[in-house]
Amino acid sequence: MTGPRLSRRGFLAAGGAALLGAVVAGSSGLAAPGPETGLLTDFWLFGRYADGCADAAFDETDLDPVRLPHCVTPLSWTGWNPASWQDRWIYRKHFTASPAQRYRARFDGVLTNAAVYLNGTLLATHQGGYLPFEVELPGIADGDNVLAVVVDGRWALDVPPNLPGSAGPAVLDFYQPAGIYRPATIGAVPRIRVTDVFARPVDVLSPGRSLHLTCTLEAPVVGEVTASVRQAGRELARATAPIHGSTVEFDVHGLGDVRLWDVDDPALCDVVVTVRAGTAVLGGRTVRTGFREARFTPDGFFLNGRRLKLFGLNRHQWYPFAGGAMPDRVQRRDAEILRRELNCTMVRCSHYPQSSAFLDACDELGLLVWEEIPGWGHVGDAAWQRSNLQDVAGMVTRDRNHPSVVVWGTRVNEADGTTAMYAETGRLAKRLDPSRPTSGALASATGARYAGADVEILAYNDYTARRGAPFRLRPPRAGVPYLVTETIGTLAGARAYRRTDPPATRQLQAELHAKAHDLAAADDRYCGLLAWCAFDYPSGWQRSVGGSKYAGVSDIFRIAKPAAAVYASQGSPDVRAVVEPGFEWDFTAQPSGPGRGATIWSNCDRLAVFLDDRPVGEARSRRADFPHLPHPPFAVDLVVPRGQRPQLRIDGYAGGRLVVSRRFSGDRSRDVLACVPDDPELRADGGDATRVVVAATDRFGTIRAGTTGSVSLTLTGPGELIGDAVLDFGATGGAAAVWVRPFAGPPGTLVLTARHDVLGTATATITAGSGGTRS
Ligand code: GAL
């Protein structure tokens, strides 16, 4: 990672010993943000572990100022080296707070183990990188306090998914760079802390539906608890129950008017819980939920009683340059890409619980979620398996109020384990949440043991169609709800699908994804299919190339490949009319054009094709190849006399109306450089960031994958560049992205300038202030 670094002097001038009162109020990273939270981003000191580094008086001269979320090592977009993060590290945060108050710190995710010290005293340790933990902070001093976190990122840790004693991180199909990589907060604790509220909708499809509440307080009280259920700013119902102790369960009735949560109308409810003794309010907590009924049956999946073919992808959480350490807005953007751009109705969080911001966005966008415990392919020793149970408990209690989550993956992905072990993880999930099925993705769908009590959905990673063989799926297993949780990846077809690979390879990936969803759509017994995968990711395992897996329908920058067009074209043309050629309109590698039967992915009824505005006829539907896809692609013959480079125009019609017209230039001399931010406005709170796509495009905006040369980037203004200062288009295929992150502070303007020797200069302007919409 390059870009402006915070100097030690700048850090001190900016108020290194940040007052707690000055931290930004309200963390979007907490499951239930309360008034007691303060997001910690700026002004941590960071370095390699040294003896005494957690002591109050440790000499910090050699530590570097950093911001959270943070990754311990600089990374590029590929070629990650696990040796660079496999070590112990120290983070130190100075703060002042009132000794009269009680405080807690919360960490949403630290890879992989953490030991937390306050003023040199060890307070807590935590194992595992994918779930939150909280630490009570007793003994706050008057004046300066230092919270020190020793982070252990070594593979040798006996915690899922690591496997000490194995050959190393490349035995798993994803790398896990260390760091405090999710939000962290310190907050004053209210007098009565409501530690948990589980709001479980009951009888959702009946007008007599209710909400079953389980409220847990930290300490016993005598008083009453009120729950108010609100939707779109209006109270729908409320109920009050007496409490004599630290837990209370009660039901809220009168919810006949509630708008159900659905993939196309993700109506949410707030449940505002208040604890009172007499007229005095002792504490409270607000959680969000949604009323929906999700049923996996041997005859398919039903949402609110309506059959829904689950259409989706797997998502890994890794980003270029930052590892997992991207702020909430960036996490949310992945959910937007999946739901809005790729029309997915479901995502599998492979292979660990993902950020709360991502799941919040799934709730808001109507994207169903499969969530699973950390692990991949192997099971460790007894201590490791005990961690599985902690992970089940941590995952279910963190996420059981999310209406988007419809399955708990309580088995380790593709790992046999023992029947007893999985019976226990399944039982634990059921005890903590009786409303959702448990499952686990299997590498074999045939063993009798897989019909066990822990598997309410038979979920199969279907790689039946290996390289070269015609694509097929295993038939569903009779009598059990059946879901395809993975397919294709890099096991079907080619070893890598990059923009630098030949167009035919990229088109092959698109054909495979289309075929897989077509086959799943053909048979009602498939609940659906979640293909492998959404985004490329760093990995040193089988069929990786230079430390990356190129299995995504989008690359690691989240830029679409042709296979993404399969997904983009399955939505309604009324929402977004899509015309996306599966080929390139570029005569460098193909002097006669893409040839006969070139594919165009589209949701239009009819496509009219023109060369230099002269009609060349209508594209032919490929319905016969994909009988069950809502919107099969088209084929068109595009053979161009050598030496000519006509302009291509494709007009798309739906319902007899022209709904989209796109042009593609064959003339590379008019190509330009694009530099486009996802968000033009951000918050200057240190916890916000946005992606900027930098791409070579034809003059109509289509990426020119064959572009080479490097792009240099400079950022001016109060913020930092999360990205390489030089991008090699020859390696990324003419397009890449960086992220821009404003500093916490006064409003300002950030300008990213990109320069390419041939294509010239392009800029992106981002304003940072208080105005940016909350991500
Ligand atoms: C599966 C595995 C995935 C991914 C995929 C590779 O076996 O569950 O995590 O590694 O293979 O295409």
3-state secondary structure 509-559: HHHHHHHHHHHHHHCCCEEEEEEECCECEECCCCCCECCEECCCCECCCCC
Question: How far, in Å, is the centroid of ligand 1 from the Cα of 766?
Answer: 38
Q: What is the mean pLDDT of residues 70-82?
A: 98
> pLDDT band at residue 554, thresholds of 50, 70 and 90?
very high
Can you give the three-state secondary structure of 625-639, one letter per residue?
CCCCCCCCCEEEEEC
Q: How far is residue 423's CA from residue 409's CA, in Å, rounded to a whole number?
A: 12
Query: Residue whose CA is closest, atom 6 of ligand 1?
Result: 489
Q: Which of 171, 172, 173, 314 to mutate for ligand 1's pocket (most ligand atoms within 8 Å of CB)?
A: 173
Provide the pLDDT for residue 686: 85
Q: Is 637 in contact with 598 (CB distance < 8 Å)?
A: yes
Question: How far, in Å, is the centroid of ligand 1 from the Cα of 355?
Answer: 21
Question: How far, in Å, is the centroid of ligand 1 from the Cα of 326?
Answer: 24
According to DSSP, residue 338 is labeled I
Whole-angstrom CA distances from 557 to 319, 332, 407, 568 are: 7, 14, 28, 17
> pLDDT band at residue 454, thresholds of 50, 70 and 90?
low
**Chain center to CA of 565:** 20
Helix H or strand E segment including 426: helix 419-432
Amino acid at 355: S
Sheet holding 38-40, edge to edge: 24-25, 38-40, 184-188, 103-107, 133-136
Query: Residue whose CA is closest, atom 9 of ligand 1?
Result: 173
Question: How far, in Å, is the centroid of ligand 1 from the Cα of 378?
Answer: 12
Q: Is 539 in contact with 175 (CB distance < 8 Å)?
A: yes
Helix H or strand E segment including 422: helix 419-432
Ligand 1 closest atom vs CA 351: 9
Question: How far, in Å, is the centroid of ligand 1 from the Cα of 252?
Answer: 43
Query: Residue whose CA is closest, atom 12 of ligand 1?
Result: 489
Burial 531-559 (b: 16+ CB within 10 A, else e): bbbbbbbbbbeebbeebbbbbbbbbbbbb
User: Whose CA is closest to 314, among 461, 167, 197, 414?
Assistant: 461
Question: How far, in Å, is the centroid of ligand 1 from the Cα of 492?
Answer: 11
Ligand 1 closest atom vs CA 490: 12
Q: Is 106 in contact with 145 (CB distance < 8 Å)?
A: no
Q: Is the peptide bond before 344 cis (omega within 30 degrees of 0)?
A: no
Q: Is 635 in contact with 597 (CB distance < 8 Å)?
A: yes
Q: What is the mean pLDDT of residues 582-594?
A: 94
DSSP secondary structure, 459-487, as one string: EEEE--S-TTSPP--PPPPTTS-EEEEEE
592-636 pLDDT, tens digit per residue, is 999 999 999 999 999 999 999 999 988 999 999 999 999 999 999
The angle subtended at Cα 244 by Cα 243 and Cα 249, nearest 5°, is 45
160-205 pLDDT, tens digit per residue, is 999 999 999 999 999 999 999 999 999 888 878 999 999 999 999 9
Q: What is the mean pLDDT of residues 432-453?
A: 79
630-673 pLDDT, tens digit per residue, is 999 999 999 999 999 999 999 999 999 999 999 999 999 999 99
210-221 pLDDT, tens digit per residue, is 999 999 999 999
Tokens of 387: 């961690």
**Chain center to CA of 205:** 30
Question: Please, how many CA atoms are within 13 Å of residue 153, restricted to the half-sphere of its CB?
Answer: 29
Q: How would you class 230 by CB atoms within 10 Å of its CB: exposed for 0-12, middle for 13-18, buried for 19 or more?
A: middle
Work out the angle between the directed axes of helices 356-365 and 328-336 (0-180°, nearest 10): 40
Residue 393 has pLDDT above 50, yes or no: yes
Mean pLDDT of the chain: 92
Ligand 1 closest atom vs CA 532: 12
Pocket of ligand 1 (CB under 6 A): 173, 350, 413-414, 461, 486, 489-491, 532, 551
User: Whose CA is closest to 435, among 222, 285, 293?
Assistant: 293
Q: What is the mean pLDDT of residues 19-32?
A: 28
Q: How far is residue 238's CA from residue 218's CA, in Å, rounded to a whole number?
A: 23
Tokens of 532: 């492998």
The angle subtended at Cα 331 by Cα 516 and Cα 233, nearest 5°, is 105
Provide the pLDDT for residue 18: 33
Question: What backbone phi and psi angles, to 5 degrees, belong to 581?
Answer: -60, 140
Coil/strand/helix, residue 381: coil
Helix H or strand E segment including 289: strand 280-289
When mean pLDDT is compared across 185-199, 232-246, 340-354, 424-438, the lowest value belongs to 185-199
Provide the pLDDT for residue 32: 31
Question: How far, in Å, is the centroid of ligand 1 from the Cα of 489?
Answer: 7
DSSP secondary structure, 190-258, as one string: PSS-EEEEEEEEESTTSTT-EEEEEEEEEEEEEEEEEEEEEETTEEEEEEEEEEEEEEEEEEE---TTP
Q: What is the mean pLDDT of residues 330-342?
A: 98
Q: What is the dihedral of CA 419, 423, 429, 431, to 10 degrees?
A: -170
**Chain center to CA of 528:** 20
Residue 14 has pLDDT above 80, yes or no: no
User: Whose CA is closest to 702, among 586, 606, 564?
Assistant: 586
Question: How far, in Å, is the centroid of ligand 1 from the Cα of 316?
Answer: 11
Ligand 1 closest atom vs CA 443: 7
Q: Which of 318, 486, 497 to mutate for ligand 1's pocket (most ligand atoms within 8 Å of CB)?
A: 486
The angle subtended at Cα 435 by Cα 431 and Cα 437, nearest 5°, is 85
Provide the pLDDT for residue 453: 54
Question: Please, how many CA atoms are within 13 Å of residue 721, restricted to the half-sphere of its CB?
Answer: 25
Q: Is 116 in contact with 123 (CB distance < 8 Å)?
A: yes
Q: Roughly how many angstroms between the first and final C-alpha of the chain, as a whole number?
A: 24
Query: Residue whose CA is closest, atom 10 of ligand 1?
Result: 173
Q: What is the mean pLDDT of residues 94-98?
A: 90
Residue 4 has pLDDT above 80, yes or no: no
Query: Residue whose CA is closest, atom 4 of ligand 1?
Result: 173
Query: Residue whose CA is closest, atom 3 of ligand 1?
Result: 173
Q: What is the mean pLDDT of residues 749-774?
A: 90
Helix H or strand E segment including 568: helix 562-568
Ligand 1 closest atom vs CA 489: 12
When mean pLDDT is compared across 7-21, 126-140, 373-387, 488-502, the lowest value belongs to 7-21
Question: How far, in Å, is the centroid of ligand 1 from the Cα of 461?
Answer: 8
Coil/strand/helix, residue 495: coil
Q: How far is residue 321's CA from residue 745's CA, in Å, rounded to a whole number?
A: 24
User: CB neighbours (10 Å) of residue 143?
Assistant: 9
Query: Residue whose CA is closest, atom 11 of ligand 1?
Result: 489
Residue 51 has pLDDT above 60, yes or no: yes
Q: How far is residue 334's CA from residue 535's CA, in Å, rounded to a whole number?
A: 9
Query: Residue whose CA is closest, atom 5 of ligand 1?
Result: 489
286-335 pLDDT, tens digit per residue, is 999 999 999 999 999 999 999 999 999 999 999 999 999 999 999 999 99
Ligand 1 closest atom vs CA 413: 8
User: Whose CA is closest to 762, among 685, 704, 697?
Assistant: 697
Residue 536 has pLDDT above 50, yes or no: yes
Question: How far, in Å, is the centroid of ligand 1 from the Cα of 486?
Answer: 8
Whole-angstrom CA distances from 347 to 364, 421, 558, 644 are: 14, 26, 15, 44
Question: How far, in Å, is the centroid of ligand 1 from the Cα of 79?
Answer: 19
Ligand 1 closest atom vs CA 491: 12
Which conformational region is residue 257 in: left (phi greater than 0), alpha (psi within -120 to 50 degrees), or beta? alpha
Provide the pLDDT for residue 33: 30
Q: Is 325 in contact with 71 (CB distance < 8 Å)?
A: yes
Q: What percent of the chain has pLDDT over 90?
A: 87
Question: How far, in Å, is the centroid of ligand 1 from the Cα of 728?
Answer: 28
Helix H or strand E segment including 695: strand 690-697
Provide the pLDDT for residue 19: 28
